[in-house]
Chain A
């Protein structure tokens, strides 16, 4: 399949049209969506309309932008005005947002053509896309396996060649883990680099929107389009958007990279072997790779599973049946709230809401939530110390290749462990990228993770590109 950059170039030069690309994308969606359950809402009409507008711009001699005519998939927690936006939940079934997320406005401004909304774990709570009210998404590489999650639909859309690029959100690994399991590049940008305005919140202090792509350059291009300061998001970083595509081939010569022991602990042998080979490739490319230990990473999972549910318990309170979404009638308003939320939320969401409510409640705050925030401080400090010694860090993205359906659904803790290598970056607020490197069990792709300090995306893309080149050559 053509890359996003090639499509945009061909649209701009007239070698193809946005409408033709949208139709090709729609055909690909039609051919496999029933089998894989990738898109929960396919926006045929909207996509063709947008594509026609792009073509009209070209006809007028205008430049539609860096993503001219590129079909794109949106995770269903991104608001798009007038379009269905359900966050994988029954409680928002049929809800059409009356406004658009900043990132949606930005991709449209760059000429991209949103094809619809992709499936996700309910309110992004999950690592397999099995908690969606709209049914699980299947991994296009092996439909008996999960695509990862929570952005499993967006990952599958790209892996199944339905769209060359997609947007997801990453709260504890929800872009990088599915990218690893579907053989894609996935980026968790620095906290505050991409506006969260219009992203249905899971855990506000951890959520970031980021790109999926088949290659490093496309991922850099999409991130370049969506990054930058947004006055509608108070946590948005004040600096402007970084230049990313221009530097993807900068290489890693002279860079110091730390291989983090804790980011391999408990990983399958094939995964450990792939990271070992990545180390060799980076060394051959001129980097110095040293062994490092960041023991605080071991505390990440616990801190994350207190902080994220605590914020979520508050963020999801608004789904009460009063203003929008599902309502289950009852005699009084409190009973109505309860009936609505009981029917509208799935088990995983209830689990996390209760966990978070407990962690914040009187008598437990200090032991749980308060303590988790202090661990977060320690995590940040530990990464600062590591980045005093090295430029980037290296580890695995996920402990294993894509797992089978139902394998981890009965034991929440086992499922949570699939995010153990990705969570520390979210807690630290830093940037990380997962890049496909090697194959493991069942010839399934393995993801290698590169981590860097805040606003190190350009360096991360350059390092990931080194691995990508070795992989494809």
Chain B
């Protein structure tokens, strides 16, 4: 059974989702998300141990493509939409840590 949503839960989730919230926003979202999750407790409370989860409404399997080349986008088009680029590459501010 789920516990009520706390302010620090929302702060943690915002950080995971790369969003920053003001104190007032944190209060507002805690209340609103809390209400929605409370509504969702109708299903959180159900006993569904024997039910299989559905990810897709229809059980398609083995959908694949042949290993055949298709045209790429032009680099000029691709970099034209980039906020910043240099040397044929997308430019970003410094990266603080290595990929996990």
Contact = CB atoms under 8 A, between A and B. Distances in A.
A380 interface: yes
Interface string A339-363: 1011001000011011101100100
Contacts of B37: 355, 358, 368
B44 A98 contact: no
B92 interface: yes
B13 A358 contact: yes
Nearest to B14: A354
A296 to B, nearest CB: 10
B53 A374 contact: yes
A321 B16 contact: no
Contacts of A60: none
B41 to A, nearest CB: 8
Interface residues of B, number: 50
B43 A333 contact: no
The interface centre, meaning the residue of B13, B17, B32 with most chain A CB atoms within 10 A of its CB, is B17
B39 A333 contact: no
A301 B39 contact: yes
Interface in A258-307: 298-299, 301-303, 305-306
A305 B81 contact: no
Contact of B94 (A333, A358, A377): A333
Nearest to B1: A367
A224 to B, nearest CB: 21
Contacts of B69: none
B52 to A, nearest CB: 6
Interface string A190-202: 0110000000000
B73 A355 contact: no
A299 B42 contact: yes
A372 B41 CA distance: 11
Contacts of B73: 98-99
Nearest to A298: B42
Interface in B59-100: 60, 63, 65, 73, 77-78, 81-84, 90, 92-96
A354 B14 CA distance: 6
A314 B49 CA distance: 26
A376 B20 contact: no
A324 interface: yes
Given A98-B77, A350-B29, A429-B58, 11 more contacts: A98-B73, A237-B60, A323-B82, A327-B84, A332-B93, A333-B92, A334-B96, A355-B36, A368-B2, A371-B48, A429-B57
Interface of A: 95-96, 98-99, 191-192, 205, 231, 234-235, 237-238, 298-299, 301-303, 305-306, 313, 317, 320-327, 329-339, 341-342, 345, 350-351, 353-355, 357-358, 361, 364, 367-368, 370-378, 380, 412-413, 416, 427-430, 454
